[in-house]
Amino acid sequence: MTDKPARTATAAPSDRALRPRTLMVRGGSTRSLNHETSEAIFLNSGYVFESAEEAEQAFIRQDGSRFLYSRYASPTVNMFEERLRLIEGAEGCRSVASGMAAVFAALMCQLRAGDRVVASRALFGSCHYIVAQLLPRYGFETVLVDGRDLGEWEKALAKGARAVFLESPSNPVLELVDIAAVAELAHAAGARVVVDNVFATPLGQKPLELGADVVVYSTTKHIDGQGRTLGGAVLGSAAFMKDELAPFLRHTGPSLSPFNAWVALKGLETLELRVEQHVRNAERLAAFLEAHPKIEQVIYPGLKSHPQYALAQRQMKNGGPLIAFAPKGGKSAAFHFMDGLAVIDLSNNLGDAKSLICHPATTTHSNLTEPERAALGISPAVLRLSVGLEDVEDLEEDIDRALAEI
């Protein structure tokens, strides 16, 4: 196969002309000499050279025209990256072993000693750990702001920064950040904007179109969508990939396994169908919960009662697949309710076909102090519901029954 160059990271011209739904099914596909219909899983770590001279030339070129070693690139992983890149509309995409590896690499690859990082405070527990605990240990100055308050962003960015990091909607209580406005402030300060877009999914929000520079995903969530594999991805400009991310990944090695890449690649084929159903179910349950007498609070970007509803309408295509809500009666009511559920599973994972519920204060966000949680609106009663693909009537009845038992 040496006369036939391996696929490079750039899209075939035909890929660019195709519509998004077609790209979700076919984007990035390459066929081996066996003419398979479904994409093949290449579980090899190394590649063979025809001659010493060819190996020498390949290592001089380093242009992606041939595979060298699977830590750098491999066929199934490339297909996944290319399909996700086309769906996101980014110049480049690299995948890694988990969402946290993606967040860490996206930040760390561009930071230099003494740099400042400004981030919104409402972050997933491990994202918060990286920004608030880990980065300062290496001498980076990190500043956490109320992501909803443009004045706080402006003040924090006045001193300049290398990178801005935010989640919108945030995990778990669905706070939004005005991505376009923050991108403008960040760019004026010389900072790149990195957006964790997990809660919106690639179809519900387009951070790059809103002005962000880098998008990160935990592909563990709706991209796999069936709770099978861990994975992560980082998308951005060709220059960011080449100059910052690719060398960092190549030499630190958080590679995604080809098998996990294949599962996520096949997940992309049904992403739109699944996400549409997740969102339809979530919209219906959010309205149901809001009208329920035993519910204290519902937070869902698709509800008019969301404090940032106007922003949600502006930058998101829908309310998303996650809901936060609190039953009346504090932590014990929340625990009673969870223990009364018969269909919805208790799990700190999310983005599965199965509906999953968790109590963030005692699980995903238990590494924060009580005052930190309070500042983030994570009350002792608040629950995070990842709405699945089940019949929404069964979900509604399950919730109704469990609420009656409180």
Ligand X SMILES: *Cc1c(COP(=O)(O)O)cnc(C)c1O
Beta strand pairing status for 92-96 and 232-236?
antiparallel
352 lies in the site for ligand X, by CB under 6 A: no
Rounded to whole angstroms, how far apart are CA atoms 57 and 59?
5
Residue nearest ligand X (C-beta atom): 99
Q: Which stretch binds ligand X (CB under 6 A): 81-89, 95-103, 144-152, 205-213?
A: 95-103
Rounded to whole angstroms, how far apart are CA atoms 34 and 320?
40
Indicate left, alpha or beta for 330 from its phi (over 0: left) and psi (-120 to 50: alpha). Answer: left
Nearer to ligand X, 23 or 378 (CB): 378
The single-letter code of the amino acid at 173 is V
88 lies in the site for ligand X, by CB under 6 A: no
Kindly tell me which residue out of 67, 124, 165, 248 binds ligand X, with binding defined by CB under 6 A: 124
224 lies in the site for ligand X, by CB under 6 A: no
Beta strand pairing status for 295-299 and 192-196?
unpaired
Nearer to ligand X, 221 or 359 (CB): 221
260 within 8 A of 230, measured Cβ to Cβ: yes
User: Could you identify the residue written with the tokens 């996101």?
Assistant: 88
100 lies in the site for ligand X, by CB under 6 A: yes
Peptide bond connecting 169 to the previous residue in cis, omega within 30 degrees of 0: yes
Q: At its nearest, how many Å lie between ligand X and the CB of residue 169? A: 9
Contacts of 217 (CB under 8 A, 6+ apart): 84, 99, 102, 196, 197, 198, 202, 223, 232, 233, 235
Nearer to ligand X, 295 or 385 (CB): 385
Q: At its nearest, how many Å lie between ligand X and the CB of residue 220? A: 4
Q: At its nearest, how many Å lie between ligand X and the CB of residue 155? A: 25
Nearer to ligand X, 67 or 204 (CB): 204
DSSP string, 316-371: -SS--SEEEEEETTHHHHHHHHHHH-SSSEE-S--S-SS-EEE-GGGTTTTTS-HH
| Chain residues 152-171 in contact with ligand X, contact rule CB under 6 A | 167, 171
360 lies in the site for ligand X, by CB under 6 A: no
Nearer to ligand X, 28 or 320 (CB): 320
Kindly tell me which residue out of 92, 204, 232, 301 binds ligand X, with binding defined by CB under 6 A: 232
Distance of CA 298 to the CA centre of its chain: 23
Nearer to ligand X, 103 or 246 (CB): 103
**Sign (positive/negative) of CA torsion 96, 191, 215, 324?**
positive
Nearer to ligand X, 78 or 386 (CB): 386
Kindly tell me which residue out of 196, 213, 244, 352 binds ligand X, with binding defined by CB under 6 A: 196
Closest to 359 (Cα-Cα) out of 335, 329, 333: 335
127 lies in the site for ligand X, by CB under 6 A: yes
Kindly tell me which residue out of 198, 210, 241, 286 binds ligand X, with binding defined by CB under 6 A: 198
230 lies in the site for ligand X, by CB under 6 A: yes
Write the DSSP symbol of residue 362: G
223 within 8 A of 242, measured Cβ to Cβ: no
Rounded to whole angstroms, how far apart are CA atoms 290 and 305?
9
95 lies in the site for ligand X, by CB under 6 A: no
Q: At its nearest, how many Å lie between ligand X and the CB of residue 116? A: 22
Nearer to ligand X, 267 or 402 (CB): 267
Strand ranges across the sheet with 192-196: 92-96, 232-236, 214-218, 192-196, 163-167, 116-120, 141-145
Q: Which stretch binds ligand X (CB under 6 A): 26-34, 92-100, 137-145, 327-335?
A: 92-100
Q: At its nearest, how many Å lie between ligand X and the CB of residue 127? A: 5
Kindly tell me which residue out of 27, 99, 254, 327 binds ligand X, with binding defined by CB under 6 A: 99
Distance of CA 138 to the CA centre of its chain: 25
Indicate left, alpha or beta for 190 from its phi (over 0: left) and psi (-120 to 50: alpha). Answer: left
**Could you tell me the two tokens for 341?**
């559920």
Q: Which stretch binds ligand X (CB under 6 A): 153-161, 213-221, 276-284, 390-398?
A: 213-221
339 within 8 A of 293, measured Cβ to Cβ: no
Nearer to ligand X, 99 or 267 (CB): 99
Kindly tell me which residue out of 29, 142, 220, 260 binds ligand X, with binding defined by CB under 6 A: 220
Q: At its nearest, how many Å lie between ligand X and the CB of residue 106? A: 11
27 lies in the site for ligand X, by CB under 6 A: no
98 lies in the site for ligand X, by CB under 6 A: yes
Phi, then psi, of 273 in degrees rounded to 5: -60, -45
Note the residues at the interface with ligand X (CB under 6 A): 98-100, 103, 124, 127, 167, 171, 196, 198-199, 218, 220-221, 230, 232
